[in-house]
Amino acid sequence: MSTLIVEAKYVIPVRPRGKIIRDGSIVVEDDQIVFVGKRDEARRRFHSDTVIRAERHVVIPGLINAHNHLFQSILKNIGIDMELVSWLRTSIHPTLASFREEDFYVAAKWGLIENIKSGVTTLVENHYGPFGYDWVAKALIESKLKAVLARGIYELNVLLDILKEEPDKALSHVEYLVKKYHGYNNRLWIAVAPMHPYNASKELLLKAKELSDKYGILYHTHTAESKKDQELVVQLHGKTDVELLYELGILSPRYHAVHAVNVSPKEIKLLAKTGAHVIHNPESNMYLGSGIAPIPDYIENNVNVALGTDGAGSNNNNDMIEALRFAVFLHRAARSHPSIITAWDAIEMATINGARALGLEKQIGSLEPGKKADITIIRLDSPHTAPVTDPLGAIVYCANASDVDTVIVNGEIVMENRRVLVFDEEKVKEEAYRTQEEILDRAREKFGATFPYEKFII
């Protein structure tokens, strides 16, 4: 049995809410937390040759990025200043269709490095299209992070035929992924993910629910993201997303309503009634002008809200520290209320609420004895964070991703002193540069794609 001790100036366990331990320690045996409390007590009770001394740091549970598209990590800013549907059709889809299988491996590794460097220990990777899944799974496994690979499906309302799939064939592939990867090393799980109700027939939506029920897997779908997509779904199905999904019996405690921005008060009640989870992506919603999700209303109605970055094509990064700040500031500005969303609300969205959305709240999401040792250590002695009075405030309102110092998953260090240990960052960086250039060239050649940035560069 191996023992790891983390000593820190502050420990924020998240559970119980509102508790911060000064001069704290976390003791890990193998992959499990066995002690969280005061440093003096830990020193009396435990001994180890492996001690991380974080004297000017705060320790929190590993962050959970509940919605991501890793392939977009090499497509930052290719389609700026556009509305969601136009952005997808003119920028994202032509480039996605220009990936070769192994390109997804490069993009996934680059995005995972960025996630790790912002303190993420678990993420939901919503890959989509008919190709690349085994390469993405390979990168996820190598990263040592916990992950849900949500298998996206486009059936309707997609301009490029190469991205369209026949429902039964796509769902059969979901089953292939379930049988090959679901539960792998207790780190990788599979979800079914029709991309949006306007991209799917009722038949596909219902068959995806049957698959979710058959294997007990999550159902992860973009829901009520923009006003334009709601117009399209009404044209196709006669109802907006949430009412449609409720009528079909799809909403459930395994359903992830990703974005859930443009909803009615009635639809908020339906999400609450069915135990569905909302995945909030504040930066993506702002970037694409999709609107402001009614997060305070979800919280008031006891809807579980988790936090995500979305893809780096619509954020444009994978920075969960930044997402914490925007999850607070956006709603304060929208409601003209200085505490409508608090720092405690934000840290819960990014930890225990994310765990709850994944059905993993008994394993991760807080620093408690008996849970897996998923730990993020953040340095707080830079000019933009120090001196520290309130360590949670320092994380949410002052810190950035560059302050994340060390990341531990299942008791294993995956980043130490800002050095990622699971990938060769410099090598992956060069691969990312080369791969992006090749993809954009193929998109121009195959689909006549043009990108907004090109008209400004001479």
Query: Which pLDDT does position 84 carry in this prediction?
Result: 82
CB contact set of 305 (below 8 Å; sequence gap of 6+)? 277, 278, 279, 280, 295, 298, 299, 349, 353
Name 172's bridge partners. Answer: none
What fold characterizes domain 63-358?
TIM Barrel (3.20.20)
The dihedral through the CA atoms of 333, 338, 339, 340 has a sign that is negative
- Is residue 331 within 8 A of residue 363, CB to CB? The reply is no
Q: In the CATH scheme, what architecture does the domain 3-61+367-419 have?
A: Roll (2.30)
Query: Which pLDDT does position 40 carry in this prediction?
Result: 98
SS3 annotation, 238-267: CCCHHHHHHHCCCCCCCEEEEECCCCCHHH
From the list 79, 243, 211, 94, the residue with the least C-alpha distance to 163 is 94
CB contact set of 298 (below 8 Å; sequence gap of 6+)? 260, 268, 271, 272, 278, 305
pLDDT in tens, 248-262: 999 999 999 999 999
CA separation for the pair 172, 31 (Å, rounded): 34
Question: Which amino acid, 382?
Answer: S
Residues of the chain with pLDDT under 50: none
- CB environment 26-45: b (16+ within 10 A), e (fewer): bbbbebebbbbbebeebeee
CB contact set of 339 (below 8 Å; sequence gap of 6+)? 332
- Is residue 32 within 8 A of residue 372, CB to CB? The reply is yes
The whole-angstrom distance between residue 187's C-alpha and the CA centroid of its chain comes to: 15
Q: Which residue has the tokens 């897996």?
A: 372
Q: Which two tokens stand for residue 418?
A: 């800002």
Read off the pTM. 0.97
